[in-house]
Amino acid sequence: MANLPALQRALAGLILAPDEAGFAGDPEGFAAAFGLPPRDQAAFRRGLAGFQAYRELARMGLQEPVEDMFPVTMALLGEAGAWEDCVNAFLGARCLTSPHYRDIAPTFLGWLADTGWGQDRWPWLVELAHFELLETLVGRFPESPAPAGLAWVPSPEARIVLAPATQVVAYGHAVHRATEADPVPAAVPTFLLAYRDPEAGFHLMALTGALAALLGRAQAAPIARAAQELGLEDLGEVWPLLGELRAKGAIAGFAEGI
């Protein structure tokens, strides 16, 4: 196989490079850098406008789902003139591997978290982006059957079993209050329960730190023991709330005797 791999790498390189890597000024040189012979180099010169269109169209297609999903993050970075740098770094990292177009936005979040990009200046960046994606993460969580044999009424010896799509999230900043007009979140510990109801509608509920901790720990230990370990003495208001969350679909049920 002579030139096919190099030709495909050259076009991918043109699309994903942070800048055109000198393509417009020297298309032959660009192609030569991928090991392509003169007759293929000449084709890059002949098709200059078409190749530039590919770069623009493909980057637009990759950037659009990120901009649609993260408008507040974009506003924050845009104010500082850093949004294009961020997107360029993301695309240049070549971490988009999924065949699903809907995975582009989650991949962006994963890239932000893995690389720490921009977090020296905006320590809450990942939290902000995570919150912007939260509705989609929960709302489009793949369908899965509820575990069998769960009780519908909570009891001290039962564990909490969250519905598969439900997420309990803790942020150091009030990212849920950030807006495109005011994208800098206040440094306030924030606990949220994100879930979808039986009709797949998305809901968000603010939690106290204590309740968030209980919802976390009582998935692995009986509710009463989890509360004791957390120093929660009065569960009087918790029992009806747990029942309500089960009825709303946030909690799948309660596992007893395990």
Please give the residue ranges that form the binding site for other proteins (CB under 8 A).
1-5, 7-9, 11-12, 15-16, 36, 39-40, 42-43, 46-51, 53-54, 57-58, 61-62, 94-102, 104, 139-144, 165, 196, 199-201
The nearest distance, CB 73 to other proteins, in angstroms, is 21
Q: What dihedral do alpha carbons 9, 37, 43, 34 form, nearest 10°?
A: 20
Tell me how far apart the alpha carbons of residues 184 and 194 are, in angstroms, rounded to a whole number.
22
The nearest distance, CB 157 to other proteins, in angstroms, is 32
Residue 238 contacts by C-beta under 8 Å, 6 or more apart in sequence? 211, 214, 223, 227, 232
Task: Identify the CA nearest to 79 among candidates 109, 135, 121, 131.
Answer: 121
Residue whose CB is less far from other proteins, 49 or 258: 49
Residue whose CB is less far from other proteins, 11 or 232: 11
Residue whose CB is less far from other proteins, 4 or 181: 4
The nearest distance, CB 144 to other proteins, in angstroms, is 8
Residue whose CB is less far from other proteins, 31 or 226: 31
Task: Identify the CA nearest to 43 among candidates 15, 3, 92.
Answer: 3
What does DSSP assign to residue 173?
S
Residue whose CB is less far from other proteins, 25 or 142: 142
Residue whose CB is less far from other proteins, 5 or 240: 5
User: Could you identify the residue written with the tokens 């797949």?
Assistant: 200
The nearest distance, CB 97 to other proteins, in angstroms, is 6
The nearest distance, CB 256 to other proteins, in angstroms, is 28
Task: Identify the CA nearest to 88 among candidates 143, 22, 18.
Answer: 18
What is the b/e burial string over 183-201, where b = at least 16 CB atoms within 10 angstroms of the residue's CB?
bebeeeebbbbbbbeeeee
The nearest distance, CB 132 to other proteins, in angstroms, is 17
Task: Identify the CA nearest to 30 among candidates 18, 44, 51.
Answer: 44
